[in-house]
Amino acid sequence: MRKKSGRGIRPYLYIAAIAVGIIILGWLIFSKPVPVYQEKIFSSLGTVVRVNLAGDKVSSEVLVNIAEKEFSRIHNKYSPNTEGSLIYILNEKGKVKVDEEALFLFQSAVNYAALTGGAFDPTVRPLIKLWGFDDEFSTKRVPTQEEINQALSYVNYRFINIDKENMEVSFLKDGVEIDLGAIAKGYAIDLVIQRIREVDPKASGFIDAGGDIGIIGPKFKELPWVIGIRDPFSQDYFSAIDTIYLTNGGVATSGDYERYFISEGIKYHHILDPKTGYPARDAVSVTVISENAMTADIFSTALFVLGYENPALEYFTNFGIQALIISPTGERIETSGFNYFREKIK
Amino acid sequence: MVKTKKISYIAILTALASAVYYVESFLPLPVAIPGARWGFSNFPLLLSVVTDVGIANTLYIAILKTLLGSILSGRFLSPMFWMGLGGAIASALAMSISFKLMKKASVLGISEIGAFFSNTAQTLIAGLFIVKSKGIIWYYPYMLFFGVITAFINSAIVSTILRSVKIDQFKN
Amino acid sequence: MKFAKKSDFFILIIIFGIIILFMSITSLRSDGVVDGAQVFLKGEKILEINKEGTYSIYNEDGEFLMNVEYYNDAVRVTEASCPDKVCQNTGWVSTPNQPIVCIPNKVVVKPTGKQNKAGVDLYTW
């Protein structure tokens, strides 16, 4: 049974086919390939690291694995709780042979300690151990004033001696212990960003190491990443007191809600003032935005210790940072350029 | 003799559909939904409908092509199999019924109706039993859109076959 | 049997109408909606939650770690065995942008669903 298709319908059919063809072609031309973000969460450097990356040339999975490997290398090299790490050996024996990278990291730690007048001090570990903040499973207690005075005698960044010629770091006093925790996280983030830019310059995404964040390029190649600053007065973890927009750079926050215990109705948190040996009380949250995550990390700790009433706050913008400080009563103070990051610019 | 002819005709269509079902599982899809497929194996089904072999026989072809095709591709009783089976049965029923009801039905129209019901059934099965998530609704319009394209291609194939091959209309 | 007729355009228009209807529904619901959760232990996915309910999480030695609850498009952790209870204090999470993490137990509970493009992507704390 042979039948020919109807004559009258033919032109309509061709028009319909051409229309469908044009729509599909237009779609193919105008729809940019959307980057596919790959996320990985792993624990490293005493916190949870969340990387979310999308490659342009390289597959996202490869980039995520680069990040994880780099973090685990830094963790094994610098974690004070990992047996065999540089810091572990240094704390045990008082001296250690280092390579170029470690030398840079130790030197940075000492330099930033000097810059902040000791508000950031890598040698607070004896104090941290005393309070029990060195590990989640350590017993946390309020030490006596004598114990604190004893521990304080070991806390000073000037006890670190860096011998560049022999590539050796040593302590000038027995009993000094170092913890690069406040610097290693930011350093690891910066290093991962650098590695990823080397293999894929157009990659985008973020690295979030326990609230310390490094941003690599805009989201979906066009939008800034929206970063919420945690409300320090809220029990709710994910309620934002403020939002900032970043397409690159780093941001870090130090807050009194991160690690703490409550004894006799008083809250004791993990950011200890290297001068007094007690938790710093003059701020509840400090957020620092910087070119890289390491400086953001260091200055968020240092400015937290220096507190809300810091007359020299504006001076710190010379180091390329912008900061927002929230006082225990909820008042806010910020550096002159912080407001710039609240604007959603491309 | 007519009966033998009909049986062999159905057998040929089933074989054709199973083969297409197997081969199309290798074709890449524009939407990433587990278990979703282009649906080109619907054209023998469409051919069986427009040559009026009857609802029961069309259903046989639909079920058999899914069974054989999934056994061939090693996906028997997998989520993809259930989605394919649901889609095939739904489109077989929809196409047969619309062929019976619409006296002046055309190949393209029946094909589009079949594709629509096939995709709807697949999405429902995936959403209710496989992914168990409301999120599948997000993929539904995309599946429908590609169903429209596939149905157009299927109906073009079928009308070419109708024009160039002499097939008797099977009147029950 | 004709290939196409004018009545076919009505069928096509109806189908395209349904496509546009569903596209607009899904684009209206662009804010992140949680439709389940994934539970990771030491980076390995151990549980996929799709139905509402309370789920107990155990580690590889069979020790009880925590309960994960998924109700009304939100996920939370209760009765955690860890000392600091950070995961438990996180409370209800109703955005797929933010996972719940338990550092001591090495557990991550990641709500699943369509990510929203507009809201906060991540938090600094």
- pLDDT for the residue C78: 83
Neighbours of chain B (3+ CB pairs under 8 A): A, C
- pLDDT for the residue A346: 46
- pLDDT for the residue B132: 65
**Main-chain phi, psi angles of A166, to 5 degrees:** -90, 5
Please tell me which of the candidates C9, C103, C120 has its beta carbon nearest to residue A43: C103
- Residue A310 predicted with pLDDT over 60: yes
Mean pLDDT, residues B6-33 taken together: 82
Q: Is residue B137 one of the residues assigned to a domain? A: yes
Q: Is residue B74 one of the residues assigned to a domain? A: yes
Residue range of the domain that includes B7? 2-164
Check CB contact of B121 with chain C, cutoff 8 Å.
Answer: no
Of A17-26, A78-87, A292-301, B65-74, where does mean pLDDT reach its minimum? A17-26
Of A179-188, A315-324, A329-338, C82-91, where does mean pLDDT reach its minimum? C82-91
Chain B positions touching A27 (Cβ under 8 A) are: none
Q: Do residue B169 and residue A3 have CB atoms under 8 angstroms apart? A: no
Multiple choice CATH, A224-346, 3.40.50.300, 3.10.520.10, 3.40.50.620, 3.90.1150.10: 3.10.520.10
Chain B positions touching A20 (Cβ under 8 A) are: 149, 152
What is the amino acid identity at position A194? Q
The confidence band for A2, taking pLDDT boundaries of 50, 70 and 90, is very low
The confidence band for A7, taking pLDDT boundaries of 50, 70 and 90, is low
Tokens of B88: 């095939």
Tokens of B15: 């074989």
Round the average pLDDT of chain B to a whole number and report it. 83
The confidence band for B39, taking pLDDT boundaries of 50, 70 and 90, is confident
- Residue B117 predicted with pLDDT over 90: yes
Mean pLDDT, residues C84-106 taken together: 75
DSSP assignment string, A274-317: TTTSSB--S-SEEEEEESSHHHHHHHHHHHHHH-S--TTGGGGG
Check CB contact of C13 with chain B, cutoff 8 Å.
Answer: no
* C61 min Cα distance to partner chain A (Å): 19
Residue of A nearest to B159 (CA): A5
Mean pLDDT, residues A21-47 taken together: 75
- Residue C5 predicted with pLDDT over 80: no
Residue with tokens 């942008």: C97
Interface test with B, best of C1, C21, C73 (most B CBs within 10 A): C1
Chain A positions touching B169 (Cβ under 8 A) are: 1
C-alpha torsion A154→A156→A158→A159, nearest 10: 20
- pLDDT for the residue A1: 43
Q: Do residue B109 and residue C25 have CB atoms under 8 angstroms apart? A: no
- pLDDT for the residue B30: 62
Check CB contact of A12 with chain C, cutoff 8 Å.
Answer: yes
Q: Is residue B85 one of the residues assigned to a domain? A: yes
- Residue A299 predicted with pLDDT over 80: yes
Q: Is residue B133 one of the residues assigned to a domain? A: yes
Q: What is the CATH number of the domain that holds B131?
A: 1.10.1760.20
The confidence band for B15, taking pLDDT boundaries of 50, 70 and 90, is very high
Q: Is residue B36 one of the residues assigned to a domain? A: yes
Q: pLDDT tens across A97-107, in order?
A: 999 999 999 99
Boundaries of every domain in chain A: 224-346
Nearest to A154, CA basis, from A185, A132, A183, A130: A130
Q: Which residue has the higher pLDDT, A298 or A240?
A: A298
Pairing of strands C74-78, A321-326: unpaired
* A245 min Cα distance to partner chain C (Å): 10
How far apart, in whole angstroms, are the C-alpha atoms of residue C71 and residue C54? 8
Q: Which residue has the higher pLDDT, A307 or C91?
A: A307
How far apart, in whole angstroms, are the C-alpha atoms of residue A2 and residue A41? 64
Q: Which residue has the higher pLDDT, B41 or B33?
A: B41
How far apart, in whole angstroms, are the C-alpha atoms of residue A54 and residue A64? 9
The pTM for the full model equals: 0.64
Tokens of C90: 């996180």
Neighbours of chain C (3+ CB pairs under 8 A): A, B
- Residue B130 predicted with pLDDT over 60: yes
* C125 min Cα distance to partner chain B (Å): 31
DSSP state for residue B171 in the 8-state scheme: -
Tokens of B140: 């539904």
Nearest to A305, CA basis, from A266, A264, A332, A275: A275
Q: Do residue B108 and residue C4 have CB atoms under 8 angstroms apart? A: yes
- Residue C65 predicted with pLDDT over 80: yes
The confidence band for A241, taking pLDDT boundaries of 50, 70 and 90, is confident
How far apart, in whole angstroms, are the C-alpha atoms of residue B30 and residue A162? 59
* A286 min Cα distance to partner chain C (Å): 9
C-alpha torsion B11→B14→B16→B21, nearest 10: -160
Residue of A nearest to B51 (CA): A1
Total domain count for chain B? 1
The CATH code that applies to domain C33-114 is 2.60.320.10
The answer to whether the complex's ipTM is over 0.85 is no
Check CB contact of B113 with chain C, cutoff 8 Å.
Answer: yes
Measured at the CA of C76, the angle between CA C70 and CA C79, to 5 degrees, comes to 110
Mean pLDDT, residues C83-87 taken together: 72
- Residue B94 predicted with pLDDT over 90: yes
Mean pLDDT, residues B13-32 taken together: 80
- pLDDT for the residue C116: 55
Boundaries of every domain in chain C: 33-114
The confidence band for A31, taking pLDDT boundaries of 50, 70 and 90, is low
- pLDDT for the residue C42: 74
How far apart, in whole angstroms, are the C-alpha atoms of residue A46 and residue A181? 8
Q: Do residue B138 and residue C26 have CB atoms under 8 angstroms apart? A: yes
- Residue B29 predicted with pLDDT over 70: no
Please tell me which of the candidates A1, A17, A20 has its beta carbon nearest to residue B167: A1
The confidence band for C32, taking pLDDT boundaries of 50, 70 and 90, is low
Q: How many CB pairs under 8 A join A and C?
A: 111
- pLDDT for the residue A69: 92
- pLDDT for the residue A28: 64
- pLDDT for the residue C36: 81
How far apart, in whole angstroms, are the C-alpha atoms of residue C3 and residue B108? 6
Of A67-81, A233-247, B77-91, where does mean pLDDT reach its minimum? A233-247
Check CB contact of B152 with chain A, cutoff 8 Å.
Answer: yes
Within 13 A of A232's CA, how many CA atoms are on the CB side?
A: 24
* A2 min Cα distance to partner chain B (Å): 5
- Using CA atoms, how far residue A40 sits from A53, A68, B125, in Å, is 9, 8, 31
Q: Is residue B38 one of the residues assigned to a domain? A: yes
Q: Are B26 and B72 in contact (CB under 8 A)?
A: no
- Residue B98 predicted with pLDDT over 80: yes
Mean pLDDT, residues B69-88 taken together: 84
- Residue C97 predicted with pLDDT over 90: no
Q: Which residue has the higher pLDDT, A27 or B101?
A: B101
Round the average pLDDT of chain A to a whole number and report it. 86
